[in-house]
Amino acid sequence: MSDSDRFAGLKKLPRRSVAEILAETGGELDDDGIALDQPPEAVLAALDEKGDIPGQIRLLARALPRREGIWWACLAGRDLQPEGRTWQSLQAAEDWVFKPGPATRKAALDAANAAAPEEESDLCARAAYFVEPTKEESYIGPGMAPLMVELMVLKSYLSVEPVAMEVWGRHLIDRGLDIARGGNGTSLPAPELPTMPEEEADEADEENSDVTPPAQTV
């Protein structure tokens, strides 16, 4: 898909201005020079021109329908889940995506609360729990689920080497755009990530080894 078509056909995004979407969900963008009275597609394209991947993640997390947004977060959780492992919080979030309801919602919260510190997908499960609060859960605002989605996708974005972040970030956005078109985000091949040249990596290791930790005081 060419760059000119990249933000076309996003039928699952709302026909509302980004300003309205952000006001409803409590989000903010570094919108210098970008008119937020436009629909999400236009603002996503403007953020892309600026190279603002975190801004695109923030907007997509709030513009996607909640179920689709949480699925996008689950795919980011899969990026981080070690091979051969099954994070129960990730499984619980995916269960909610495929069958939203009170039972899977409660299971998602239980899995999030039981997650070990290294189980990074607890954010997916919390997002599922935050989507449809009961009347007694008025403390759960409309921006809490999108925030969990944003943080989960950012975790995947920040998990690669700095030299690979632009390529990986574009892949994460393309996943979200595919979901916004009605796809499932899994058909996109993973990109080949650039790595730091060996000489630069060795120099970085040497610089880090020369750093003297500060003295500890009691």
> What angle do helix axes 122-130 and 88-98 make, rounded to 10 degrees?
30
Handedness of CA 24, 64, 172, 127 (dihedral sign): positive
Give the pLDDT score at 207. 55
For the purposes of burial, counting CB atoms within 10 Å of the CB of 46, is it exposed (0-12), middle (13-18) or buried (19 or more)? Answer: buried
- Euclidean distance between CA atoms 165 and 63, whole angstroms: 23
The phi-psi region of residue 115 (left if phi > 0; otherwise alpha if psi is between -120 and 50; otherwise beta) is beta
Confidence of residue 201 (pLDDT cuts 50, 70, 90): low
Is the distance from CB of 80 to CB of 123 less than 8 angstroms?
A: no
Is the distance from CB of 36 to CB of 19 less than 8 angstroms?
A: yes
Q: In the predicted model, what is the mean pLDDT of residues 193-207?
A: 67
4 vs 13: which has the higher pLDDT = 13
Give the pLDDT score at 100. 97
5 vs 208: which has the higher pLDDT = 5
216 vs 36: which has the higher pLDDT = 36
| Residue 214 scores a pLDDT above 80 | no
Q: In the predicted model, what is the mean pLDDT of residues 87-104?
A: 98
Q: In the predicted model, what is the mean pLDDT of residues 71-85?
A: 97
Lowest mean pLDDT among 32-46, 113-127, 199-213: 199-213
- Euclidean distance between CA atoms 36 and 82, whole angstroms: 39
DSSP secondary-structure letter at 65? -
Give the pLDDT score at 145. 98
Q: Say how many residues make up the chain.
A: 218
Confidence of residue 30 (pLDDT cuts 50, 70, 90): confident
Tokens matching residue 166: 């632009």
Tokens matching residue 196: 């730091």
